[in-house]
Amino acid sequence: MATASVAASLPFCLLLSPRLFRGRRAVRWPRPIRASASSNASDVAGGERKLGALESRVGDLRALVASVPPAVASIQKSISPNFVAGFCVGIAFLAAAARQVIIRSRDHDNRGSVADLVRRGQLKSGQRGTAKLRTYDDPFNNSLVKIDEGTSTAQMFGKEYRLAPVRLTKEQQEMHQKRRSRAYQWKRPTVFLREGDSLPPDVDPDTVRWIPANHPFAAASSEVDEETAKQNVYQKDGVPSRVKAEHEALQARLEASNAVTKLPSDPRSMQHNERPMRSSGKPSENLQSSKFDNQGRQVSIESGKHSSDGSSQSNGPEGQ
């Protein structure tokens, strides 16, 4: 606000003549005029001087007032109506453009995204999944829940509810079970086969669940057999089987390449074999890159799996 007023007053000051400007400065603070007469002669002379000074200041003020209309007229002459109209149109255009920019920036603010939720205060940034645990109290008996056993009412969150007893009896429950057992004759499938595959000879057709090709379970083939998969699930410590197998395969390749490089004495062939040696010089790195390309940030966690002591960076209770 202050800067605006300075900006507005500055051109007006420049238009004034130096004299007027000086006079304007001089008439800053009006002095008080004494209305009472004084008996002292020096006081009379001083009063005359003051009166003269006051008259000169009033004259300056009159000159200032007289000079203002020509200044305004000069401004009006210098600014044509076309200029004013153009200026207004320009301001309106700028305002419309600014409004459009603001609306677009709001639209591009990822509405419905996590960022938008954070902006609206529904989601606290960086605090997702973390909660200050509530101190525990009995959910049946606390300050928010009051049960009046005499009147069969319950008061909860300030509202009062009527309690109705459950009417289901054991007989009714068994009756429903019989009804369902008659209505739904079902045997849980134990074998999943992809639609279009042939039925194996030793499989009961009633135990087969046919899976469409686009189902998440419909993998083309499994690299591990059932027994290995079961062992993998039951494995409590040590290196996981596939990681171990890959490591052993790389180790075997490294040993094989070392054996090959030891045999020839020709330096050319040594140079030829240099590249495979380099590539196989760090088996652990190769192992990680081959297996954990799609794991991203989990490489550090995965690397813990290679330790056979079971003290990996586990998230689980067994690794604690």
Of residues 109 through 148, those in contact with other proteins by CB under 8 A are 117, 122-124, 127-134, 136-141, 144-145, 147
Binding-site size, other proteins (CB under 8 A): 104
Give yes or no for residue 170 binding other proteins (CB under 8 A): yes
CB within 8 A of 235, min separation 6: which ones?
241
Give yes or no for residue 268 binding other proteins (CB under 8 A): no
Contact stretch for other proteins (CB under 8 A) within 4-12, 103-111, 263-271, 302-310:
302-310
Measure the N-to-C terminal CA separation of the chain; round to a whole number of Å: 64
Give yes or no for residue 169 binding other proteins (CB under 8 A): yes
Is the Cβ–Cβ distance between 116 and 123 less than 8 Å? Answer: no
Give yes or no for residue 64 binding other proteins (CB under 8 A): no
- Residue closer to other proteins by CB (options 254, 312) is 312
CB within 8 A of 60, min separation 6: which ones?
20, 23, 26, 27
Interaction pattern, residues 231-250, with other proteins; x per rule: CB under 8 A: -xxxxxxx-xxxx-x-----
- Residue closer to other proteins by CB (options 91, 114) is 114
Q: Which tokens hold the place of 96?
A: 């419309």
Q: What is the DSSP letter of 294?
A: G
Q: Which helix (H) or strand (E) holds 213?
A: none
Q: What per-residue string of b and e applies to 261-273 under the rule 16 or more CB within 10 Å gives b?
A: eeeeeeeeeeeeb
Give yes or no for residue 205 binding other proteins (CB under 8 A): no
Which of 186, 196, 201, 265 contacts other proteins by CB under 8 A? Answer: 186
Give yes or no for residue 199 binding other proteins (CB under 8 A): no
Interaction pattern, residues 26-55, with other proteins; x per rule: CB under 8 A: ------------------------------
Residue 21's CB is within 10 A of a number of other CB atoms, namely 14
Give yes or no for residue 316 binding other proteins (CB under 8 A): yes
The span from the CA of 67 to the CA of 63, in Å, is 6
Residue 209 forms beta bridges with which residues? 192
> Minimal distance in Å, beta carbon 186 to other proteins?
4
